[in-house]
Amino acid sequence: MGRVGEPRLTAMAHTARSAARQRAERARLARERAARRARRIRTAWWVVAAAPAFVVLLVLIRVAIPEAPTGGGDGNRQLSSAVIDALRPDPSTLDTVGRGQGVTLPTPITGQPPLTADGKPLVLYVGAEYCPFCASQRWPLAIALSRFGSFTGLTASHSASDDVYPDTATISFHGSTYASEYLAFQGVELNTNERRGRGYAPLDELTPEQEAVMNTYNAPPYVPRAGSIPFLDFGNRFLQTGASVSPELLVGLSHDEIAAEIVSNPNGPVAQAILGSANAFTAALCVLTDGQPGEVCDSPAATAYQAEVGG
């Protein structure tokens, strides 16, 4: 009888061992799943804990390496130190040039309500980056305004490559700001210098207030043709459409070459036109500021055009 029962006992033992192995395997798998969950939880907590430090690091990198300002069109870049210096020439150079040569003056207007912003007389410029006449106009305008305040965010630009006086080197007012205790300035660049269809890609938009000025004063009887650019309104006291300096003078010159002419060659045609025009604008601006600051408005550069602007 004992021999007959032995196979049954052996099978039962085998079944028991198999069940034990299965329990052990399930326990091992459960331990591995628990370990993986623990690792995921630790990783998630590390990410959460590190996130504020990572954000601080990004901010520090942003501060240490600020984004370079750019204009709207093709090839716009930061101004060189030579151009920055040329936009604030030595006052004695401006005095030496005086009236200059080849300058078209702004036109006085009377009886109009003052154009102001932030409680200060406002100078409104409307142009476009593709426009070569705007390109030549920005040089004396920026120089004159820099005698009353300071710009940030100006960029080097050029007029369109497929227009008259192609690729005229200039600056762009797009994205720039101007700070002065005497004046407010708004520079609007309506288009880039990049072709889009039959025109040029849009850039800045006129505010309703700027559009009202354009509709009123950039039209007859104040100017010969409506909607012309560049357009300048000096506080509703002086207007100018078209360039005060011919872009023909700047053909073929780079930004740094124009800067060198302004700084180092005051008797040359480029400096005579640009600085002479800047002096005319300075005289008009002194009318808006009631002769302030005195060191600017009493200088030979500003008084050179005193008779024409009525200051």
Question: What's the pLDDT tens digit per position in 270-300?
Answer: 999 999 999 999 999 999 999 999 999 999 9
Task: Please give the Cα distance from 233 to 205 (Å, whole number).
Answer: 17
Over residues 66-97, the pLDDT tens digits come to 444 455 666 678 999 999 999 999 999 999 99
Over residues 156-175, the pLDDT tens digits come to 999 999 999 999 999 999 99
The more confidently predicted of residues 239 and 16 is 239
Indicate the range of 49-53, 59-63, 90-94, 118-122 predicted with least confidence: 59-63
Q: Over the range 221-248, which residues count as b (16 or more CB within 10 Å of their CB) and which as e?
A: ebbeeeeebbbbbbbbbbbbbbbbbbbe
Please report the pLDDT score of residue 308 as a whole number: 84
Please report the pLDDT score of residue 56 as a whole number: 40
Radius of gyration of the chain (CA): 35
Please report the pLDDT score of residue 68 as a whole number: 42
The more confidently predicted of residues 16 and 221 is 221
Query: For the whole model, what pTM was predicted?
Result: 0.77
Place of tokens 């009123």: 216
Please report the pLDDT score of residue 108 as a whole number: 96
Please report the pLDDT score of residue 28 as a whole number: 72
The more confidently predicted of residues 241 and 40 is 241
Q: What is the mean pLDDT of residues 21-33?
A: 68
**E strands, 27-167, in order:** 77-78, 107-108, 116-117, 120-127, 150-152, 155-158
> What are the structure tokens assigned to 11, written together?
């099978």
Is pLDDT at 43 greater than 70 in this prediction?
A: no
Is pLDDT at 3 greater than 90 in this prediction?
A: no
Is pLDDT at 305 greater than 60 in this prediction?
A: yes
Task: Give the CA dihedral 140, 145, 149, 155, nearest 10 degrees.
Answer: -50
Is pLDDT at 262 greater than 60 in this prediction?
A: yes
Please report the pLDDT score of residue 63 as a whole number: 38
pLDDT-above-90 percentage for the chain: 73
Mean per-residue pLDDT over the chain, rounded: 86
Q: Is the alpha carbon torsion for 16, 19, 25, 31 positive or negative?
A: negative
Is pLDDT at 61 greater than 60 in this prediction?
A: no
Is pLDDT at 180 greater than 50 in this prediction?
A: yes
